[in-house]
Amino acid sequence: MSCLHKRPKRTKSEEQAFQEKVKKIAQENGKRLGLEGDEDLQFLLVGGELVKIRSKSWKKNRFFKLQEDCKTLWHESHKTFRRNQTFSIDDIESVRRGRQSEGLNKHTDPSAEELCFSIIFVGRKKNLDLMAGNGDEAKQWVGGLDKLISNMRSLTRQQKSEHWILNCMRKADKNEDNKMTLKELKHFLRQVNVEVDDTYAAEIFKKCDKSNSGSLEGSEIKHFYDLLTHREEIDVIYGNYAQTEGQMSARDLLNFLLNEQREQVSMEDALKLIDKYEVDGAAKQNKCLSIDGFLMYLHQEEGSIFNPAHKQVYQDMHQPLNNYYISSSHNTYLMEDQLKGPSSTEAYIKALMKSCRCVELDCWDGANGEPVIYHGYTLTSKVLFRDVIKAINDFAFKTSDYPVILSLENHCSVDQQKLMAHHLVSILGEALVTKPLGNTMPTSFPSPEELRGKFLIKGKRLNKLDAALNNNSTIEEDTVSEEDEAADCKENGQKSKSKKSKIKLAKALSDIVVFCKSVHFNGFEHAKDNLAFYEMSSFKENKALNLADSSATAYMHHNTDKLSRIYPAGSRTDSSNYNPVPMWNVGCQIVALNFQTPSKEMHINQGRFLPNAACGYFLKPEFQRSLTSQFDPGTLSNGPWLKRKTFHVMVISAQQLPKINKDKHNSIVDPLVRVEIYGVPADNASKETHYIENNGFNPMWNERFEFHINVPELAMLRFVVEDYDSTSQNDLVGQYCLPITSVQSGYRHVPLLTKRGDVICSAGVFVHLMLVDDQ
């Protein structure tokens, strides 16, 4: 970036010319982002002073400014070795107006509400807490950044790619003369993750240097860009279907959509696509799709692997709550491990913003009579129960309207339990479900639709639910058996007690437990004969897995009218995760994972809840919702679940894979792609391509795989791109997971996500997919 490396002092006229050039570059990038002449963008490009806040005593003035690439924020730093710091707009998860972060809440006065805002980063990078000089400035910073993030995210993959490549070219232009020498061209190629030998680089250079001037400029750079981004595989596909004077007529396109993409479409749909994506006016007039228009279509959601119809809520949301898988978190308060990691309200916000619909609160007696949340018998930090409930109330329904379950692990004294009940009622207000929805005793759960915007409390209750309707209980407190997970927690804390250890429960807390009353599990027969629908059990992962193996059908029947919650074993002190798939296979709804730990298991969870508007609820297959069903994932008998299919996957190519080791200038990836299926045991499979040396920009494999799938309604598909290493474990480059039922057939682009589940801009894998019925 222009202001990041020292250069000789410029003369006045040189400085003027330089500033004009920077302004021009910013204008071009602003235009590319659809923000040409935008006031908020201009405000960010000029920049200004903000107060950076780290603690009550550490509050420093720092200058912040958007760079001319319209993608990088620069801010001054007074650290000796880091005079200037930058971060990308792509690294920002969200911008929050007001004192809506833990730091600002703690370290600023409520009167500064209008001046404050926070930049929240993806991953584990700490929030940036800032304060502007006045409310209007704060508003403009937040508005400008929001607009920039939103426009950046709504660029097509092709536009993101172009934006990225052109800015990489600018970085390679060391002397900023708008020309590219052979040396600069080699530097640029390494930057975009492709290693070429000197002969090949010289060859490309010669081909583009039409003027024989020894450097590329203007149209020569454009020619080089076209050569670099040319997709040979697209030429072949287009050529096969463009049967009308070298172009794709509407009839040719329809032929492609029906035969290759396996879509149920008409001529009208083909014409709509031409109108939407054709970039050439003459071709559009002739109702034809040029190769550029075709590439544009493939880069849009219509050309994505993920069925666009599943991006919104497409499932029936009026069924009882227990008929859905529910995205669920374990030890939600933790940011890291379970022994000494920090507890934070931020962890709840992150989980809720990912549409997690069941969060866990581990409650203990705190100082000054105020209950706290932390991992008992460990050195994890503590956070006030009241602050957590406030954060949950503020962020629960930002990404999904569907109900949130607060799973209480209660270790508090009666007095502090009463305060917990007070905080829940006073902070959550009308959104808290404190009694059954009607005037009569329900016999089944309400639906997610009926519970929109509501909170349910999961915990112990002193009596049956009908007592809430009859008002026949006057007991202020009584003893109940401790939660199964609480007992496990004590065992792991070397304070072993029997499973049936007791705690005293306050009536005030008991009364707000309505649809999720925690009870100990004493076997499926006992549950069937003695438990009401709202009485639910929690199972440690090992116990749940044993039951899923030995009594799969009974477990599934149990889940047709009750809820089951699964939680990780206490021995997972590093907050690692178990595989959720075997639990979903037997219809368990609340399969709680450590959201704070990026892992394959979390990728599968993110994939499971990607469809249905990623709302945190996904309707279980019909055969898991019926008491007459004899489905057993381990031994597949004939039934409505058995829909044998062959899944053909061709991994064709990848585009613009990120560098793994950005610090090592010469580190180029050697990518391979693995295709994985997770589902019933008979469907689990994994196959991988060979690796390609030194090319993360446009590697090509053209490798075919075949998978046999028995129960497609439970099957998950995961793509993994890794950097091959012969001496150590391969590094993850990117991954993407989704249910087979949401996959589109044909030629498709697969987006790639980081280990933490964030989108990698402009990177992707190009595949051909076909799911066909077995004869």
Mark the binding-site residues, compressed into ranges. 52-79, 331, 360, 362, 409, 458, 460, 538, 565, 668, 670, 694, 723-725
Report phi then psi at 705, rounded to 5.
-130, 160
285, 384, 580 from 601: Cα distances, Å: 50, 30, 7
Instruction: Kindly state the tokens that stand for 452.
Output: 């929109």
Instruction: Kindly state the tokens that stand for 66.
Output: 């958007």
Taking 3-state DSSP, the helix, strand and coil percentages for the chain, each rounded to the nearest 5, stand at: 35, 25, 40
Of 272, 485, 259, 493, the C-alpha closest to 380 is: 493
- Dist. CA 283–CA 248, nearest whole Å: 9
CB count, 10 Å around CB of 394? Answer: 17
Catalytic residue among 107, 299, 310, 330: 330
358, 452, 465, 468 from 457: Cα distances, Å: 10, 15, 13, 15
DSSP E strand boundaries for 524-589: 535-540, 564-567
DSSP-derived 3-state class of residue 586: coil
330 is known as an active-site residue: yes
Surface-to-core class of residue 34, CB atoms within 10 Å of its CB (0-12 exposed, 13-18 middle, 19+ buried): middle
- Dist. CA 243–CA 261, nearest whole Å: 17
Cross-strand pairs, 654? 765
Buried b (16+ CB within 10 A) or exposed e, 299-336: bbebbbbbbeebbebebebebbbbbbbbbbbbbbbbbb
- Dist. CA 443–CA 694, nearest whole Å: 62
- Dist. CA 322–CA 531, nearest whole Å: 15
DSSP E strand boundaries for 460-510: 477-481, 502-506
Catalytic residue among 107, 163, 310, 375: 375
Q: 590: part of which helix (H) or strand (E)?
A: strand 590-593
174, 306, 308, 613, 748 from 301: Cα distances, Å: 37, 8, 6, 14, 10
Cross-strand pairs, 156? none
375 is known as an active-site residue: yes
Which parts are annotated binding residues for Ca(2+)? 331, 360, 362, 409, 668, 670, 694, 723-725
Instruction: Kindly state the tokens that stand for 96.
Output: 């929050």
Q: 253: part of which helix (H) or strand (E)?
A: helix 250-259
Cross-strand pairs, 458? 407, 516
Which parts are annotated binding residues for substrate? 52-79, 458, 460, 538, 565
Rg (CA), the chain: 29
Q: Which residues are catalytic?
A: 330, 375
